[in-house]
Amino acid sequence: MEVKAELRMTRISAFKCRDVARHIQGMPALGALELLEFYPQKAARLLGKTLKSALANAENNNSLDPANMVVKRALIGEGPTLHRFAARARGSADAIRKRTSHIKIILAERDLDAEQAAAKKSGPKPRKTKAGASK
């Protein structure tokens, strides 16, 4: 089952936010939350806030265990841009673009049966014997 949380109209550039979001995709949700606490960027604080919301949605709305959740996707989209100007010499002006972004985090339940089956399949491989060797 998938659980979503979204933070919209956030005053941070999507470019800066994607840089941090890339690191948490595919991680266990609680591990990602722990990792984000130690990132110095503003984006990490906003992603952590959204991730906490997604975990709360999983626990309260769907009765899922947060320990079994994985960050399936961390989507960062561009929001509307606020246009401002900075005065320049001789009556001219430069544009200042204050960019916003939409943060969406999708959590999925970890499939423990599939993980255990994959671990069994990827067990040690049999050794190859030399063609001319006799036992």
Q: Quick: pLDDT tens for 29-38.
A: 999 999 999 9
pLDDT category of residue 107 using cuts at 50, 70 and 90? very high
What is the Cα–Cα distance from 101 to 99, expressed in whole angstroms?
7
Q: Is it the case that residue 5 has pLDDT exceeding 80?
A: yes
Residue 135 lies in a domain: no
Is the separation of the CB atoms in 38 and 63 below 8 Å? no
Whether residue 87 is contained in a domain is answered as yes
Contact 37/48 with Cβ under 8 angstroms?
yes
Distance CA 36, CA 51 (A): 10
Flag whether 133 is in a domain. Answer: no
Percent with pLDDT over 70 in the chain: 89
Q: 134 lies in a domain?
A: no
Give the pLDDT confidence score for residue 132 in this predicted structure.
64
The amino acid sitting at 24 is I
Distance CA 50, CA 43 (A): 11
pTM beyond 0.85: no
Q: How many domains does the chain have?
A: 1
Four-CA torsion 57, 60, 64, 66, nearest 10 degrees: 60
**Mean pLDDT, to the nearest integer, of 2-14?**
97
Flag whether 53 is in a domain.
yes
Say which residue, 1 or 102, is predicted with more confidence.
102
- Decide: 108 and 69 in contact? Cβ < 8 Å: yes
CATH number of the domain to which 98 belongs: 3.90.470.10
Whether 35 is in a domain gets the answer yes
Q: Which domain holds residue 85?
A: 2-112
The continuous run of DSSP H or E covering 2 comes out as: strand 2-10
Assigned domain for 51 exists: yes
pLDDT for the residue 28: 96
The reported pLDDT for the residue numbered 135 is 57
Q: Residue 126 falls within a domain, yes or no?
A: no
pLDDT in tens, 11-58: 999 999 999 999 999 999 999 999 999 999 999 999 999 999 999 999
